[in-house]
Chain A
Amino acid sequence: MFFDFHIHGNIELVKEAERLGYSGVALVNGDHNNHKSPGRDRNHHSSEFNNHHPPEGYKNHPPEPGIGVGPPEIQILNGVEIHPKNSQDLKRKLQKFRKKADVLMVHGGDLKINRAACEDPRVDILCHPYRARRDSGVNHVLAKKAAENRVAVEFNLKYLFKTRFSHRYRVLSQFRDILKLQRKFKFPLIITSGAHSIYDLRSPFDVMALTRCFGMNKEEAYTALYETPRQIIEKNRLKGRIIAEGVVLVE
């Protein structure tokens, strides 16, 4: 059971992800081209998926039931990645997209935006806080806030694979820095592919093997690929029924 929460793409990518062994993906739309409701887009994908005949392997090995029970064997979530200009813009966009999105991501990289995202419990994932930076973009202050508000910090493998060999050391050391903070402050970590095509997807066990290179052990890798996404799904399922922290409306 593994999840990939950052896929830009179409049904072909979802099918490939399923073949590789993912049980759930989040198809991410940017906020800049959001004339139509992202929710509608998700239904479009699902219906397209239902009409498609399952690949032959299915008959012999039906997938195990689990979280993603439903007509498409792979769970498709609707993600929105917002690109805020500043922290006020972030708040405005959060208000606009929070209800429509299953997974809400913030395009990080800028320090002020990283900080604002970590301080807001409505944010699910802070994407690549290390983007276009020399440092990791997360310090102890942000780490504490992220742990308080359960904002997951993303390791986007796109940045590892798409940079040149001579610059990969920087990405690896940024991952290492974030991991060091994570071990102390216990904020959630998530590993995603950031895939735009089938050539960017990697199978989950290969990713687990790769995480050794920046010092993650097997349990941590499993948490980042499975537990954290599951918690995000769970949190958003309860969305709207939480009265106060720790109090949930049951019926």
Chain B
Amino acid sequence: MKLKILPPHLRNKKRYLAFEVISQKPLTREDVIYLIWEAAAGLYGACGTSNFDLWVVKIWNCDVPHKNVLKGMLRCNRAEIDAVRAIIPNITRFKGGKVVSHTLGISGTIKSSTKKFIKLKE
């Protein structure tokens, strides 16, 4: 049997954080997820990270010449958004290559976050 979903006032409030990852070596979706979890665990540990309700919603592969650029979206707890934002600059390297990550913006819904910050070409 499936659990009945919580009424809205009892659910955790969410925020969506759009970010980009630029790397020397090409990265896959799994690599980005691993990088984020590692950075979160390195900065706050398991105890701190458990507060954030972190979830990688989606990763987009961007076609930028001579650069490996990925864009992605994180879901997290609304109250902890500043702490989650601090995780993003902590991504520094992966398998001997340099990696850098920047926050593109924070939004309340997936739709507006995609429209405003990810800006995919149609």
List the interface of chain A (C-beta within 8 A of B).
20, 157, 161-162, 165, 168, 197-203, 205-207, 209-210, 212-213
Type the 1/0 row for B38-82, where 1 means its CB is closer than 8 Å to any CB of A.
000011000000000000000000000000000000000000001
How far does the Cβ of A161 sit from chain B's closest Cβ, in whole Å? 5
Minimal beta-carbon separation of B11 from chain A (angstroms): 25
B34 CB to nearest A CB, Å: 14
Complex: how many Å from CA A199 to CA B86? Answer: 16
Would you call A213 and B100 a contact (CB within 8 A)?
Answer: no
Establish whether residues B89 and A207, one from each chain, have CB atoms under 8 Å apart when the complex forms.
Answer: yes
| With A165-B42, A168-B42, A213-B43 as contacts: A206 and B102 at CB distance below 8 Å | yes
Give the residue of B83, B85, B90 whose beta carbon is less than 8 angstroms from that of A205. B85
Inter-chain contact A212/B102, CB cutoff 8 Å: no
Question: B interface, how many residues as a size bin?
Answer: 10 to 19
A224 vs chain B, min Cβ distance (A) = 15
The answer to whether A209 touches B82 (Cβ under 8 A) is yes
Q: Contact between B102 and A203 (Cβ–Cβ < 8 Å)?
A: yes
Among B43, B102, B103, the most chain A Cβ lie within 10 Å of the Cβ of: B102
> How far, in angstroms, from A20 to B102 measured CA to CA in the complex?
8
- Decide yes or no: A199 and B99 within 8 Å by CB, A168-B42, A212-B82, A213-B43 being known contacts: yes
